[in-house]
Structure 1
Amino acid sequence: MNKIYLILLLNLFCVLIGNQASAQSKYVSLSGNVKTSDGKPASFVSVALAGTNKGTMTDDNGYYLIANIKPGNYTLKVSFVGLKTQERQVNVTAGSKNQVDFSISENASQLNEVVITGSQTLNKPVALGKANIRPLDLPQSTGVISSTVIADQQAIRLGDVVKNVSGVSLTQTRGGVAETFSSRGYSIGVAGSGGSIFKNGIISNTQGFPDASTLESIEVLKGSSALLYGNVSGGVIINLVTKKPRFDWGGSVSMLVGSFNQYKPTVDLYGPISKNLAFRVVATHENADSYRDVVHVNRTYVNPSLLYKIGTKTDILLEGDYLKSNIVPDAGVGVPNNRITITEVPKQPRNRFIYPNWAYNNTEQGSGYLTINHRFTDNWKLTAIGGLQNTKVNGFGVGVPMTIAANGDWTRTLSAVKSAEKDYSAQINLNGAFKTGFLGHQLLFGTDFTRIVAQNNTFKYTSAAGVVGTAYDKINIFDPATFNVRTDIPAIADTALTTTPQNRMGIYAQDLISITSKFKVLAGLRWSYQKAYRTTIFNYDRQQERRGATADKSDNAFSPKLALIYQPVQTTSVYASYTNNFTINSGIDIFGNNLKPSIVNQYEAGVKNEFLNGRLSANLSVYRIRNSNFAQTALVDQNGNPNTNTNIKTLSGETTSDGLEVDLNGSLSKNFYFIAGYGYNYMRYTNTTGVAGSQVEGERLINNPSHTANGSIFYTFDGGSVKGLKIGASAFYTGKRFGGNNNTVGVAPGELNSTRTGVTTANPNGTGKTSSYNALLPLTGFTTVDLSAGYSFKHISLLTKVANIFDTFNYVVHDRYSLNPIPPRMFVATLAYKF
């Protein structure tokens, strides 16, 4: 298998290079470098050929490349928001190197001031796309939140940042130690095995919260991305882009202080070590109490990196980061009698903490990444990325409050975690541009591999009196006098270690085909292979190792993508696309075979617009995502008898997610920018068997708000007595949604007790069943508003913010069983010095 795989890669590589070489005589490329007046690279500057749809943006080193050009005379335009557009007449000829360099009038410092605002334009290339496709050529909804927005909003957590993207919402806080997000009806989780959160394009475990305030940007790719990444969420994937080394000296130091004794110093230093070697170091420490009693955070994060240039064609980037996060876990306020509504909030004050005051959750994580970029020619580039991440979590407390009586009584049981996850990742991407006849091609061909090894311990708990077991005590969540009835910390001992390995790999190819300057087609195909190995269980008492009961399980799937793109003018793109992703299923079919993956089909149409020379972007997309072979409990077994085993399933169910997203972003001057977005989603079960254990048809899935909206605006005065003054406002809306658990069919009408609310469901099979009980937790929509104000003088700046200024009260959900109150009105300020 491995040999065949390697031979296929080599053969295809040779064919592609051959095609490229045969086309060089007819179509050529134009490249060059854009520098500032003091000789520094000018990054993120637009370079385009007037009167055509050919254009690009300079990279971090000021380099640009425009491929597939017919020889001839052109007007080359260099522009950026807040700068005067420069033009130059160029003659592009065959058989020679066409290089045109520019020097803009601003120096590096002046350009950086412009970039602060100009980088807020919506349609920017995303590294997640792997192919560096021009934003208007990409038939997919994206979002990029820059470090400027992160700094202006004084955001720290990933959840504080992604809510700036339409249709993306924070849905869970997972015990106060991690975050889960939702988009288009689908969730993405914490661990690397979830596969939907990346760092610099490499799969990442986000346990312990990544530090968003230290990032260069956060990229969001909405909808299915299985073509590029395999088994990922069908709703969204997120990429954390760390700050990179620079060949000019600079940096900053800052101190953030806020409510509840929060303080967070940050240092960012960069510069050249030699002509070809540059460095960057970002470090921060956070120490804070919380609006929740007892809760405390102590976190340290360091991100060093080195960039080495080997000549003009090869770059080697080495990055590492280290996170140590000590947090008091907090699974929320509980749900008495499995029901709660916003009208019951007065029973549960926002600060009320119902867990032992000795509980802890400590995370230690180290990561390393190596990226090699090599440019064979102006048209062909190879990128190789490797990554290693090691995450260790050690925590002890009590379990999530799943069963609290109506009067507030809760029997607390001990719960601990000691886990480790090692993620090994590698990918190789070949990008090329060439012509076949009148067709232009922008090709991506690649392969990736990921190995995830997860380890989890089980425990034995012993009280000071020598009693062994998980029982701890009983409290009443409405009566503070009963909190922490016991304060002793039981002894804990490891009993067994379970190791679960998993391998994932894929081969993919994608081609953006330009039929004319207005009509384009994007087509691609990926083959993915995934294998979950049989677990090994080591018993500490017996010092013996045994194999788990579940055998190795292999899955594979093809993921195609096809999109049609029409660009009536250079600044407008209309597209329609089909793509799919797949989800791995547990359980067996009626014959005892492992279930195949469910194939989830997505249809999307949209329009992307740029106005005012790229200073204003307006995008709209609509979608339908349908899982027509959703796994659900089988009606009958292999003998035709009624099935009562919920592990025996069939791929005959269905879920449907319909939605719309609107994004409007603008940088109307170097002093002013705004971000606005709206998302609608309707995710529900659209076909179920009606048999016991199956879902209720027509019911919305939990943790998916029907409406979300966001808006931010910032303005900096640059003249008069108020020069240097910055003002801003941000508002975020999360609509109605359900927490709790989705209902299942299986309880006869006469079997309901006083703690359950029966819901009769239409059942095509005539079994007369109802849902098990009304397990949904209805949550109302809410809006939070933040106001910001600051002042800058030369190298010093002060920015302040009042978050949730109207003190809105609402909840996010913790793992379906409990609710966490959102933060109250809070104050934060950041004093910074840039040099």
Structure 2
Amino acid sequence: MSITLAMTNTPSLTQAPRNPDLSSPRYASRLSSGLALLFMAYVAPGWADDLQGSVDEITVKAKSTHSKADAYYQKDAGAATRTNTPAMETSQAVNILSRQVLDDIHATRLDDTMELVSGVSRQNNFGGLWDNFAIRGFAGHDNTGPAMLRNGFSGNRGFNPPRDTANTERVEFLKGPAAALYGNSEPGGTLNVVTKKPQFKTSNSTEVYVGSYDTYRGVIDSTGPLSENLAYRLIVAAEDKGSFRDYVDSERLLLAPSLTWLISPSTTLNYELEYLKHRTPLDRGIALRDSNGRRLHNIHRNRFLGDPDAGDTTMEAFTHQLSLEHEFSERWRGRVGVAYKLNRTDGDALETRPGFSFISPAGDVRRRLRQRDLDSNDLNLLAELNGQFDTAGLQHDLLIGMEAYRFENQQWLGNNNGVGNALSINQYFPRYHIALPSSFTVASNFREQQTNIALFLQDQLSLDEHWKLMTGVRLESYRQELHNRLNNSITRQDHSVLSPRLGLTYVVNPTLSLYTSFSRSFRPNAGTAGGNQFGLDASGDAFDPERGRAWESGIKYQAPDQRLGATLAVFDITKTNVLTNNPSQPDFSIAAGEVRSRGIEFDLSGQLSERIRLIGSYTFTDAYLGKDLQLSPIPGLLPNGIVSAGSRLSNIPRHSANAMLMHEQPLASGGKLGVGGGFSYVGKRADSSEDLFELPSYVTVRLMSYWQMNPKLRLSLDVSNLFDREYYASSYNSSWVMPGTPRMITLGLQAKF
């Protein structure tokens, strides 16, 4: 096994472009070459049958999925340990949504899964341009989003378009800090998206959907062998999605080719490319309160406060992943890999100015025209070795690894507030197609670069038949460089961070286990809390990273047939060094904030019988400020600008619950009929960091049905928000509140050939 082989034809740390242009001929040529190769793969099934005799043997050895991989209850712990550890022996809560769950709810975007997992709540989604969520009350950075992985590699640095599920095999929610394995992250948890892989058995499928508000979607998924030891997969998804929001339509295109090469019986090389383009107007939602803090009533949930003439915002993301895996023996295996991601976001938007003072009692809303040009590139290298051995009567499952990355983020933001009320709009009587200014004042122009190298070590010890001890630690050294191009100042900082992890599990019997754990986390501070200086304090110095610590204990149950499982967990998490306004210099920030979260989670999933499958959860989360928070004063509402300790964190409900059930009935004709439904309950939430007002609680109901006419043809019909409940999905403040989607009906046809 050679690290050089894993890095072949991959940009090096010095070769990665500083100003990536995704529309340049070089990237167009790279994409065209990949598509040409995959076009050959797409026509390969016609002659692949000649190889079937030899491929059958390979399929048995190299199988990556089986019938239980799609079950509602997943008995493995996924990426929680980076090893093949059963969930019952893992000292943390893990929720895995399999492909079967995604298919049953017909999830097309990652956001569709958020209400199925305990402790996960929606957050401000940057005007509909990205995925944003909180786990156990911790939402990540306002401007970069939450911690997210893609096949174990970092997948969310920079601005990323909303994830499409066409190339998703399963979604893993890893509760609690993951810093001991994955580095900088939130202490509430981390999400890992596992992509679909090539298979050595020919399979082709297509899906077509038509839905409310002129929504159309098509998916093609083709996989199979190219030779005895080479398999391909090509996934293409295209979507033209209407919306209940006026003038807010979206278009997206996903291209995901991948190859698997069985170099030898013990060595596998995998390559994946994913290109995602997403285009839509930036939509900040509606304003709920006026300058006096009074509620504005009877605002239509379809009301768009931008202007169609401002155009769309376009997001593009190229993701390359190359990994080489080798089995040295039955007990030792290694992996080296590289991931390289390029992101670009650009476009204009006429958007609401945040703050009570810009909303009049008559419904007039002040706006500003903004122009964005955001670029990032992210190179990630990984090498790890995993093995099992015995010493002094103890069984060890040892993991040793090294990881390094270089991330570069460049942002240019232009701003025009207009003259007087020239750009204003009235929420009750909107007027569109106004004259837009053509000039901008540069509001922000900076470049951030992070470089990081880390070593991690984890040992899972079986002390005896019942006691399992997990120890882990990650040591990393990172450098952060901030270049403010407005004044040409450059600030650098270096930090070394140690992130430990300790967990103990007592396996009572094959159906019951108890666990407890402690872990720490960190995340670089690279932003402001209301000031205008990116990542710098009043002295021009960068901030120390945020630090988190978490305790968790719980009980896990697994049915004797391993088809049903449940977890009951309690947690207590504290995060310190959070950025807040500098009381003496409001244009700057200080790292003095503290937030806490504690609560109880319950999850249940699996087969109740041969014909009934179920998933459900309940969460109590008390997420609040641990110290007073200093913000800008709000006359009449928050005169001193101080949000007191104990105030709730925004968008985090104290109570939330969901349940979904699917029943399948065989038909005399040989087909199958599936009928199911479920509900989601989200409690009251603070609507902003000031915790002055709250968003009301809500319940939505969904219905799901399908008719499996034969093994190759299926017709589906789904209704979300069955009773057309009006609700608010999330908010950033009272000026940016996103209404929830009304009743939506989707008809789909899925075919295999």
The TM-score with structure 2 as length reference comes to 0.84
Amino acid at match of 2:599: G
Asked if the contact 2:511/2:560 (under 8 Å) is kept, the reply is no
Alignment of 1:618-767 (within 5 A): 618-627=566-575, 647=588, 649=590, 651=592, 654-688=594-628, 695-720=643-668, 723-742=671-690
CA deviations 1:133-178 (Å, max 9, x no partner) are 2211111111111111111111112110132111112222221222
State the shift of 1:577 in Å. Answer: 0.6
1:274 maps to what in 2? 227
State the shift of 1:381 in Å. Answer: 0.9
1:802 maps to what in 2? 719
Alignment of 1:103-122 (within 5 A): 114-115=67-68, 119-122=71-74
Q: Are 1:516 and 2:452 an aligned pair?
A: no
Q: Distance between the aligned counterparts of 1:401 and 1:214, measured in 2?
A: 37
Q: Which moved more, 1:780-789 or 1:211-220?
A: 211-220
Asked if the contact 2:71/2:606 (under 8 Å) is kept, the reply is no
2:151 maps to what in 1? 200
Cα gap change, 1:701/1:218 in structure 2, threshold over 3 Å: closer, same or farther?
same
Q: Distance between the aligned counterparts of 1:353 and 1:703, measured in 2?
A: 22
Asked if the contact 1:279/1:307 (under 8 Å) is kept, the reply is yes
Q: Distance between the aligned counterparts of 2:124 and 2:750, measured in 1?
A: 32
Q: Distance between the aligned counterparts of 1:720 and 1:228, measured in 2?
A: 51
Alignment of 1:140-159 (within 5 A): 140-159=92-111
CA deviations 1:337-384 (Å, max 9, x no partner) are 25778x7552x1111112111231111111110011111111111111
Where 2:482 maps in the other structure, the secondary structure is coil
Unaligned runs of 5+ in 2: 1-52, 527-534, 632-639
State the shift of 1:493 in Å. Answer: 9.7
Asked if the contact 1:130/1:429 (under 8 Å) is kept, the reply is no
Q: Distance between the aligned counterparts of 1:555 and 1:438, measured in 2?
A: 39
2:29 maps to what in 1? none
Where 2:103 maps in the other structure, the secondary structure is helix
1:569 maps to what in 2? 509
Q: Are 1:783 and 2:699 an aligned pair?
A: yes
1:68 maps to what in 2? none
CA deviations 1:461-493 (Å, max 9, x no partner) are 6xxxxxx9687824443332x422615573679
Amino acid at match of 1:728: G
Amino acid at match of 2:716: L
Amino acid at match of 2:361: A
Q: Are 1:284 and 2:232 an aligned pair?
A: no
Cα gap change, 1:339/1:308 in structure 2, threshold over 3 Å: closer, same or farther?
farther
Q: Distance between the aligned counterparts of 1:195 and 1:444, measured in 2?
A: 26
Unaligned runs of 5+ in 1: 1-35, 44-57, 63-111, 462-467, 540-545, 636-642, 743-774
Where 1:150 maps in the other structure, the secondary structure is helix
Asked if the contact 2:133/2:146 (under 8 Å) is kept, the reply is no
State the shift of 1:40 in Å. Answer: 6.7
1:353 maps to what in 2? 304
Asked if the contact 1:300/1:323 (under 8 Å) is kept, the reply is yes
Asked if the contact 2:702/2:720 (under 8 Å) is kept, the reply is yes
1:747 maps to what in 2? none
Where 2:353 maps in the other structure, the secondary structure is coil
Cα gap change, 1:689/1:289 in structure 2, threshold over 3 Å: closer, same or farther?
closer
CA deviations 1:191-223 (Å, max 9, x no partner) are 7x6561121122224622110243111111011
Query: Which residue of 38, 63, 72 maps to 1:60?
Result: 63
2:205 maps to what in 1? 252
1:237 maps to what in 2? 190
Cα gap change, 1:220/1:496 in structure 2, threshold over 3 Å: closer, same or farther?
closer
Q: Which moved more, 1:154-163 or 1:470-479?
A: 470-479
Asked if the contact 1:190/1:207 (under 8 Å) is kept, the reply is no
Amino acid at match of 1:667: Q
Amino acid at match of 1:552: R
Where 1:207 maps in the other structure, the secondary structure is coil
Amino acid at match of 1:440: Q
Asked if the contact 2:139/2:146 (under 8 Å) is kept, the reply is no
Q: Distance between the aligned counterparts of 1:154 and 1:61, measured in 2?
A: 23
Q: Are 1:547 and 2:488 an aligned pair?
A: yes
Asked if the contact 1:199/1:242 (under 8 Å) is kept, the reply is yes
Q: Distance between the aligned counterparts of 2:419 and 2:403, measured in 1?
A: 43
State the shift of 1:733 in Å. Answer: 1.4
Asked if the contact 2:231/2:261 (under 8 Å) is kept, the reply is yes
Where 2:111 maps in the other structure, the secondary structure is helix
Cα gap change, 1:719/1:414 in structure 2, threshold over 3 Å: closer, same or farther?
closer
Where 2:290 maps in the other structure, the secondary structure is coil
Q: Are 1:820 and 2:738 an aligned pair?
A: yes
Alignment of 1:442-461 (within 5 A): 442-459=397-414
CA deviations 1:633-663 (Å, max 9, x no partner) are 789xxxxxxx667857465x54321111101
Amino acid at match of 2:524: I
Q: Distance between the aligned counterparts of 1:291 and 1:460, measured in 2?
A: 28
Q: Distance between the aligned counterparts of 1:669 and 1:500, measured in 2?
A: 54
Q: Distance between the aligned counterparts of 1:611 and 1:42, measured in 2?
A: 30
Query: Which residue of 144, 163, 167 maps to 1:214?
Result: 167
Q: Are 1:412 and 2:352 an aligned pair?
A: no
The TM-score with structure 1 as length reference comes to 0.76
State the shift of 1:704 in Å. Answer: 1.1
Where 1:703 maps in the other structure, the secondary structure is coil
Greater C-alpha radius of gyration: 1
Q: Distance between the aligned counterparts of 2:180 and 2:419, measured in 1?
A: 45
Q: Are 1:478 and 2:427 an aligned pair?
A: yes
Asked if the contact 1:588/1:594 (under 8 Å) is kept, the reply is yes
Same amino acid, percent of matched pairs: 27
Where 2:509 maps in the other structure, the secondary structure is coil
2:18 maps to what in 1? none
Asked if the contact 1:633/1:694 (under 8 Å) is kept, the reply is no
Q: Are 1:533 and 2:473 an aligned pair?
A: no
State the shift of 1:627 in Å. Answer: 3.1
Asked if the contact 1:414/1:472 (under 8 Å) is kept, the reply is no
Cα gap change, 1:471/1:386 in structure 2, threshold over 3 Å: closer, same or farther?
farther
State the shift of 1:710 in Å. Answer: 1.6
2:752 maps to what in 1? 834
Q: Are 1:423 and 2:371 an aligned pair?
A: no
Cα gap change, 1:345/1:243 in structure 2, threshold over 3 Å: closer, same or farther?
farther
Where 2:352 maps in the other structure, the secondary structure is coil
Where 2:116 maps in the other structure, the secondary structure is coil
Cα gap change, 1:440/1:300 in structure 2, threshold over 3 Å: closer, same or farther?
same
Cα gap change, 1:588/1:271 in structure 2, threshold over 3 Å: closer, same or farther?
closer
Alignment of 1:497-512 (within 5 A): 498-512=446-460
Q: Distance between the aligned counterparts of 1:665 and 1:823, measured in 2?
A: 26
Cα gap change, 1:260/1:648 in structure 2, threshold over 3 Å: closer, same or farther?
closer
Q: Distance between the aligned counterparts of 1:804 and 1:319, measured in 2?
A: 36
Cα gap change, 1:195/1:721 in structure 2, threshold over 3 Å: closer, same or farther?
closer
Asked if the contact 2:491/2:540 (under 8 Å) is kept, the reply is no
Asked if the contact 1:194/1:232 (under 8 Å) is kept, the reply is no
Q: Distance between the aligned counterparts of 1:397 and 1:253, measured in 2?
A: 36
Amino acid at match of 1:511: D
State the shift of 1:306 in Å. Answer: 0.1
2:547 maps to what in 1? 599
1:613 maps to what in 2? 561
Q: Distance between the aligned counterparts of 2:258 and 2:580, measured in 1?
A: 48
Amino acid at match of 2:341: Q
Query: Which residue of 334, 338, 360 maps to 1:382?
Result: 334
Q: Distance between the aligned counterparts of 1:262 and 1:129, measured in 2?
A: 40
Amino acid at match of 2:308: N
Q: Are 1:559 and 2:507 an aligned pair?
A: no
Where 2:139 maps in the other structure, the secondary structure is strand
